[in-house]
Amino acid sequence: MSNQYSLNDTVDAIVIGTGAGGAPLLARLAAAGLKVVALEAGQYWDPKKDFPTDEVGQDKLFWNDERLSAGTDPVPFGSNNSGIGVGGSTLHYTAYTPRVQPDDLQLKTDFGVGVDWPISFDEIATYYDEIEHFIGVSGPSEYPWGPARKRSYPMPPLPINGAGQLMERGCEAVGIKTSLAANAALSAGRHQEGLGHRAACANRGFCQAGCNVGAKSSMDVTYIPLALSKGAELRSECYVTQLVKNSSGRISEVVYLQNGQEKRQKCNYVFLCAGAIETPRLLMLNQLANSSGQVGRNFMAHTGLQIWGEFDEDIRPYKGIPGSVISEDTHRPDDADFAGGYLLQSIGVMPVTYLQQMARQRGLWGEAFKQAARAYNHVAGINILGDCLPYDFNYMELSDEKDGRGIPKPRVHFTNGENEHRMTAHADKIMRQIWEAAGAKNIWAYQRNAHIIGTCRMGHDGGANVVNADGQSFDVPNLFISDNSTFPSALAVNPALTIMALSLRTADQFLANRNRLNV
Binding-site member from 45, 51, 93, 474 for ligand FAD (CB under 6 A): 93
| CA 196 centroid distance within chain | 26
The residues in 80-99 that bind another protein, with binding defined as CB under 8 A, are 80-82
Of residues 301 and 350, the one with the C-beta less far from ligand SF4: 350
Minimum Å gap between C-beta 99 and ligand FAD is 11
- When asked if residue 411 is in the footprint of another protein (CB under 8 A), the reply is yes
DSSP class of residue 476 equals -
Sign of the C-alpha dihedral, residues 116, 119, 123, 124?
negative
Of residues 81 and 298, the one with the C-beta less far from another protein: 81
- When asked if residue 16 is in the footprint of ligand SF4 (CB under 6 A), the reply is no
| CA 513 centroid distance within chain | 28
Binding-site member from 144, 152, 177, 352 for another protein (CB under 8 A): 352
Residue 512, classified by CB atoms within 10 Å of its CB into exposed (0-12), middle (13-18) or buried (19+), is exposed
- When asked if residue 216 is in the footprint of ligand FAD (CB under 6 A), the reply is no
Q: How many CA atoms lie within 13 A of 83 on its CB side?
A: 32
User: Are the CB atoms for 281 and 396 separated by under 8 Å?
Assistant: yes
Q: Can you list the alpha helix ranges (DSSP code H) found in 307-417?
A: 351-361, 367-373
Stretch in the footprint of ligand SF4 (CB under 6 A) among 124-132, 209-217, 272-280, 286-294: 209-217
The CA-based angle 500-504-507, given to 5 degrees, is 140
Q: Which amino acid is at 151?
A: R
Binding-site member from 241, 252, 377, 447 for another protein (CB under 8 A): 377
DSSP class of residue 268 equals E
- When asked if residue 216 is in the footprint of ligand SF4 (CB under 6 A), the reply is yes
Stretch in the footprint of another protein (CB under 8 A) among 131-139, 241-249, 287-295, 367-375: 367-375
- When asked if residue 299 is in the footprint of another protein (CB under 8 A), the reply is no
- When asked if residue 457 is in the footprint of another protein (CB under 8 A), the reply is no
- Which residues are CB-neighbours of 433 under 8 A, at least 6 positions away? 170, 174
Stretch in the footprint of ligand SF4 (CB under 6 A) among 164-172, 213-221, 353-361, 422-430: 213-221
Of residues 99 and 245, the one with the C-beta less far from ligand FAD: 99
- When asked if residue 137 is in the footprint of ligand SF4 (CB under 6 A), the reply is no
Q: How many residues bind ligand SF4 (CB under 6 A)?
A: 13
Q: How far apart are CA 152 and CA 140, in angstroms?
A: 8
First to last CA, the chain: 24
Q: How many residues bind ligand FAD (CB under 6 A)?
A: 42
The secondary structure element, H or E, covering residue 172 is: helix 162-174
Q: Can you list the alpha helix ranges (DSSP code H) found in 286-350?
A: none
The residues in 453-492 that bind ligand FAD, with binding defined as CB under 6 A, are 483-484
The residues in 271-330 that bind ligand SF4, with binding defined as CB under 6 A, are 321
Binding-site member from 151, 191, 197, 374 for another protein (CB under 8 A): 374
Q: Which residues pair with 395 in a beta bridge?
A: 413
- When asked if residue 181 is in the footprint of ligand SF4 (CB under 6 A), the reply is no
- When asked if residue 35 is in the footprint of ligand FAD (CB under 6 A), the reply is no
- When asked if residue 239 is in the footprint of ligand FAD (CB under 6 A), the reply is yes
Q: How far apart are CA 37 and CA 13, in angstroms?
A: 7
Minimum Å gap between C-beta 211 and ligand SF4 is 3
- When asked if residue 503 is in the footprint of another protein (CB under 8 A), the reply is no
Nearest CA-CA partner of 434 in 358, 383, 371: 383
Burial 39-53, CB ≥16 within 10 A → b, else e: bbbbebbebeebbee
Q: Which residues pair with 381 in a beta bridge?
A: 308, 347
Residues of this chain that bind ligand SF4 (CB under 6 A): 185, 201-207, 211, 213, 215-216, 321
Binding site for ligand FAD (CB under 6 A): 16-22, 39-42, 80-85, 88-90, 92-96, 208, 239-240, 273-276, 278, 282, 451, 483-484, 494-497, 499
